[in-house]
Structure 1
Amino acid sequence: MSIFKLDMNYKNLLVIAGVALVLLLMYRIQSIISIFAVSFFIAYLLDPAIDKLETWKIPRAAGILIFMVLLTIILVCAMLYVVPYLYYEINYLANMVPDIVNSVTNTAQNFAERMNIYVSLEGIKNQLAPKAGAIAKQTLAAALGILSSASTAVSSIVNIAIIPILVFYFLKDFDRINTKIFDALNRKYDNDIKRYITEFDKILSAYFRGQLIVAAILGVLYTIILLVVGIKPAVLIGIVSGVLSVVPYLGFIIGFAASLILAFVQFQDILHPLMVFIGFAVVQAIEGNLITPKIVGESLGLHPTAVIFALLAGGSLFGIGGMIIALPVAAFIKILLSEQFA
C-alpha cells in the first residue's frame, strides 16, 4: 500500500483545505482539546488494567469505578501529606538562595585568584546575596500567581470536574471505539492499515506507560540518594528530576546540577558532592541498562532531539493537549517513513 500517492485534483485539494481548517479550529479551541486529550490519555493508560479486571469477571463499569476511587484516594493523600511537605521544602530552598550565592561567588573568586585573574566579585555578592532570598520568594510567588491565573483561564473548576466524567466514558467505550475505527479504516483502505495501527499502538502504549513508570522509579531513586547524602530539599529535587526525565536527559541534568551545588553549599567539602556524583551515576547506569530496557522495551524509536522537538512544537501550538498528541503523531510518521524507505 502506498500512503503518499496523491493526485492534485479538486477532491484532494478540498481535503487539504479541510485539514487546514480543522488545524486552525484546533488552535482556536486548544483549551478544550487539552481537556479531551488529557482525559483520553488517562483512559488510554488505564485501559489494560480495566481489561485485566474484566478477565477476573469484574464488570467493566465496576472496574472503572474501583480504579477511579483508588486514584482519588491517592490524590487526596498526596494533597494532605506530600504537598505541604513540598511547600516546606520550597520555602527552605528559597531561604537558602543567599547562602548559595555567597558560596558560588566565593568559589569563583578563589578560583580566579588561583588562576592569577584579578576580579572582584565582592560588590556583586554584597548587592545580590541580601536580596537573593527576597527575589527567590517573589519569583516563586509570581510563578504561582501566573500558574494560578493560567489554571483559572484554561482549566476552570468546571472543566477539571469534567475530566473524570470523560475518562469514565472513554474507558467504558474504549473497545467499542477501537472496533469502530478499525471497521471504518478497513472499509476505506486495505488490510495493511490495521497492521500499521496495531504496530503504532504497541509502540506507543509501551512508551507512554513504561516512561511514566520509569519516571516514577527514577524520582524515588533520586530522592533516596539525596536523603542518604543528606541534601535538602531531597524530595522536591527527586520528584522534579523524575518528572522531567520524561524528556530525554533533562531530569538527570537539572537534578544532578542542583544536587551538586546544594551538596557543596550545605557541606563545604568534596565528599558530599562526590557522593552525589556516584549516586546519580549509579542511578543512570541502572536506568539505562536495567529499568528502561525491561519496562519500556521497544521505545518510539525516535532520536531524543526529535522527541524534544515534538514536545515543544506540540506545546507551542496546542498547549498541554498538543504535547500529548505530538509524540503519537511523531511515532506514526516514523512508522510510515520506515515502511516507505525500508
Structure 2
Amino acid sequence: MEIKLPQYVKYVMILLGFFLAIWVLQTFKAILMPLVFALLFALLLLPLTRDLEKFRIPRALAILCSIVMVVIVLGLVVWFLSMQVMSLTSELDTIGKNFDALLMKVQDYLYHNFGIQPANKSELFRNMVGGLREMSTTFVGSTISLTTGALTVITIVPIFVFCFLYYRNHLEQFMYKFVSKERRGSLNHTIDNIQVVAQSYISGLMIVIVIVALLNSAGLLLLGVKYAIFFGVFASILTIIPYIGILIGAMLPALFTLATTGRLIDAVLVVLVFMFVQFLEGNFITPYVVGSKVSINPFAAIVALLIGGEIWGAAGMIISIPMIAILKVLFDAYEPLRPFGFLLADIDEVKEKKSGRFRKMFDKLREKAKKERYEDDQEVEQ
C-alpha cells in the first residue's frame, strides 16, 4: 500500500536525501571509494568474464584471469611512466641553468622597459630554498599518506571486483527482494541500461585515451620535443578528468620545452598542439567513440566534476561522469525523480535528435545484456 504525499513534500525529501548522501560519501570515503571503483571495473570486466565462462572455465578462474589481464596492462603503463620519469631527472641540471638564464632575461627586460630593479639573486635563492624546504616537508607527509592510501586501494579493489563478479547472481536476487514480481521487468530494464552506460563509457574512454596518446605523441615528435611519447601518454591519461585534464597535461610539456630550449615560441607551439588535439577529442573523437550513450549536458558534467572533486578529490573527478550517467538512468526509471533526469539530459536527447546508428548500437548492447543475464538466471535455477 503506497502512501500519497504532496509533491512539495516529495521534493523536500529528495533534497534532504541528496545532502544526506553527500554527507555519507564524505564520512565513509575510505570504504565507499574502493567499492565504487570496484563496481565500475566489475561492470567493465563482466562481458570478458562471461565470454570466458562460455568456454566452460570455472567462474572463479575466469574472474581471476580477467583481473590479472587488467593488472598486467596497468602495470606496464605504470612501468613505462616510471622509467620515463627516472630518465627525465637527468635533465634537471639543464632545466635549472635554462631557468636561471630565462629569469635573468625577464629581469633585464623589466628593468630596461619598466625600471623595475632586479631582485638580489642571493636573497631570491635563499627565499626559494626556504620555500622549497617548507614545500618538501608538506610534500613528504602528503606523499606518505597518499602512498599508504593507494596501496590500500590497490589491494582491496581487486578483492571487491572478484566478489562483485562472483556473487553477481546473488546480488541480483537480493535486489529482486525489494520489488514485486510485476515490477521486476522494469528493474531488469534499468539494470541493463546501467550496465550498457557504464561499459560503453569506460571502454570508450580507454579507446579515446589511446587515440589521444597517439595524436599527442605524434605532434610533439614533429616539434622535436624530448620525451614526446611520455608527455603524450601522460596527457592522454589525464583525459579521464573531463574538460580540464588535457589542459593540465599540456602545462608540463610546455614548461619543460621552455626550460630546455629557452624559447617561448617552442612552448607556445606545444600548447597549440594540445589545443588542436583537445578540439579533435571534444568534437570528433569522443562523440564518435562514446556516442550519445552518456548523454549528459556539459553544465551538469562540470557541476558533477566539481562536486566529485570536493567530495573525493581527484578520484571523485575521475568517476564523476560515469556515476552521474548511472544516476541519470536511475532518475529516468523512477517517476518522482524524472525531472532531475531531464535536468541532466543533453539537449540533443531532449529534442530526440540522437543518431540512429548509435541508438541501434545501444539497443544491441542492451539486448546482449538481457541475454547474458538470462543465461545467468538459468545457471542459478540449475
TM (normalized to structure 1)? 0.73
How far apart in 2 are the matches of 1:161 and 1:24? 26
Question: Does the CA-based 8 Å contact 1:36-1:163 persist in structure 2?
Answer: yes
1:28 aligns with 2:27: yes
1:31 to partner: Cα distance: 0.4
Task: Provide the residue aligned with 1:166 in structure 2.
Answer: 160
The runs of 5 or more residues in structure 2 that have no matched partner are: 333-337, 344-349, 351-382
Please point out which of 148, 151, 157 is paired with 2:144: 148
Q: Deviations over 1:8-30 (max 9, x none)?
A: 89999999988876765543322
Q: Quick one: structure 1 residues 178 and 326, their matched pair in 2 at CA, closer, same or farther if it must change by over 3 Å?
A: farther
1:209 aligns with 2:203: yes
How far apart in 2 are the matches of 1:309 and 1:324? 13
How far apart in 2 are the matches of 1:121 and 1:236? 40
Structure 2 counterparts to residues 9-24 of structure 1, below 5 A = 24=23
How far apart in 2 are the matches of 1:211 and 1:65? 23
Q: Deviations over 1:56-99 (max 9, x none)?
A: 55443322222223334345545555424323425745872563
Q: Deviations over 1:99-130 (max 9, x none)?
A: 336426635864896xxx41436317775468
Q: Quick one: structure 1 residues 292 and 122, their matched pair in 2 at CA, closer, same or farther if it must change by over 3 Å?
A: same
Question: Does the CA-based 8 Å contact 2:217-2:232 persist in structure 1?
Answer: yes
Task: Provide the residue aligned with 1:37 in structure 2.
Answer: 36
Q: Quick one: structure 1 residues 178 and 212, their matched pair in 2 at CA, closer, same or farther if it must change by over 3 Å?
A: farther
1:293 aligns with 2:287: yes
The runs of 5 or more residues in structure 1 that have no matched partner are: none
Question: Does the CA-based 8 Å contact 2:250-2:274 persist in structure 1?
Answer: yes
Question: Does the CA-based 8 Å contact 1:223-1:237 persist in structure 2?
Answer: yes
Question: Does the CA-based 8 Å contact 2:238-2:249 persist in structure 1?
Answer: no
1:282 to partner: Cα distance: 4.6
Structure 2 counterparts to residues 41-190 of structure 1, below 5 A = 41-78=40-77, 80-89=79-88, 92=91, 96=95, 99-100=98-99, 102-103=101-102, 106-107=105-106, 110=109, 117-120=113-116, 122-123=118-119, 127-128=123-124, 139=135, 142-152=138-148, 154=149, 157=152, 160-174=154-168, 176-178=170-172, 180-181=174-175, 184-185=178-179, 187=181, 189=183
How far apart in 1 are the matches of 2:141 and 2:201? 34
How far apart in 1 are the matches of 2:342 and 2:143? 44
TM (normalized to structure 2)? 0.66
Q: Quick one: structure 1 residues 11 and 175, their matched pair in 2 at CA, closer, same or farther if it must change by over 3 Å?
A: same
> Higher RCO, 1 or 2 (CA under 8 Å, sep at least 6)?
1
1:199 to partner: Cα distance: 3.5
Question: Does the CA-based 8 Å contact 1:222-1:280 persist in structure 2?
Answer: yes
How far apart in 1 are the matches of 2:97 and 2:126? 6
- RMSD (CA atoms): 4.4
Task: Provide the residue aligned with 2:374 in structure 1.
Answer: none
1:146 to partner: Cα distance: 0.6
Aligned amino acid, residue 337 of structure 1 = P
Q: Quick one: structure 1 residues 120 and 320, their matched pair in 2 at CA, closer, same or farther if it must change by over 3 Å?
A: closer
How far apart in 2 are the matches of 1:339 and 1:66? 37
1:138 to partner: Cα distance: 7.1
Structure 2 counterparts to residues 217-236 of structure 1, below 5 A = 217-236=211-230
Structure 2 counterparts to residues 217-296 of structure 1, below 5 A = 217-269=211-263, 272-273=266-267, 275-277=269-271, 279-296=273-290
Q: Quick one: structure 1 residues 20 and 72, their matched pair in 2 at CA, closer, same or farther if it must change by over 3 Å?
A: closer
Name the % identity.
Answer: 24
